[in-house]
Structure 1
């Protein structure tokens, strides 16, 4: 394995082991939260770079993977916010013809992944961390650095937005 400048061999071996164990799970989590595997892979790599830079401190934590997951989710949320601001600004900069353009129709029948992908990133993050990663509300609040009440309200909004898409199979018969 090639050595990383500024990182001792033992540290790079430890990070390599964490990478091998945690990276597939992290990419899966970020893909569900962000909706894009390519973005998830980029953010995961950026999170591991931050981990390398802070390994002497993070290695002492009880759960370095939790630190990594926290950093990665925050980075993904920030990335989505920047992209959203850019998308909203583009039509205004382009002129009135594009400002009222429909970005695409909505289907009556959509699967759960697609419905989750349509949620705002803040709601998506709490929903995935709480329901799919099975983290308690207080831990989700710590990870996202928001109050517990904010997590609860985002969960409620996310559930309400998903409710129409979660049709009971008996209703389909």
Structure 2
């Protein structure tokens, strides 16, 4: 089967096959997915499809088998979850983490990147320079300004500043 013949076969059969699989499966999106995957596999075997003489039946059979395989995979996954139990409950972020994320979002992108690389990834100024292409002095400036901005944004309003002498 030539490329043009396969394209013509696809154009003539894709809607019909999708409709057939939709009726078999009861799920349009699943039918579309498996039919597309079957056509991809058929593309690789288009010469064999031509020799066997029933390309539409082959595509339909492959699409059905793909759907059955997906069902089995989902069932095995569901069974595994049932055997192992639900994942442990994890607490959501606390108010401190939410405040920190919001404060970091307020920083300029480059400052936020440098702060993350330095404080979360534990990279040195030289390593950050190598990764970002920024000069060491620029990185130090970003770190200084970022710390200052975060200190201001994360300041607890319940704590009064000491009066300056």
Q: TM-score, normalised by structure 1?
A: 0.46
The structure whose RCO (Cα within 8 Å, separation 6+) is larger is 1
Asked which structure has the greater CA Rg, the reply is 2
Q: Given the two structures, how large is their TM-score scaled by the length of structure 2?
A: 0.48
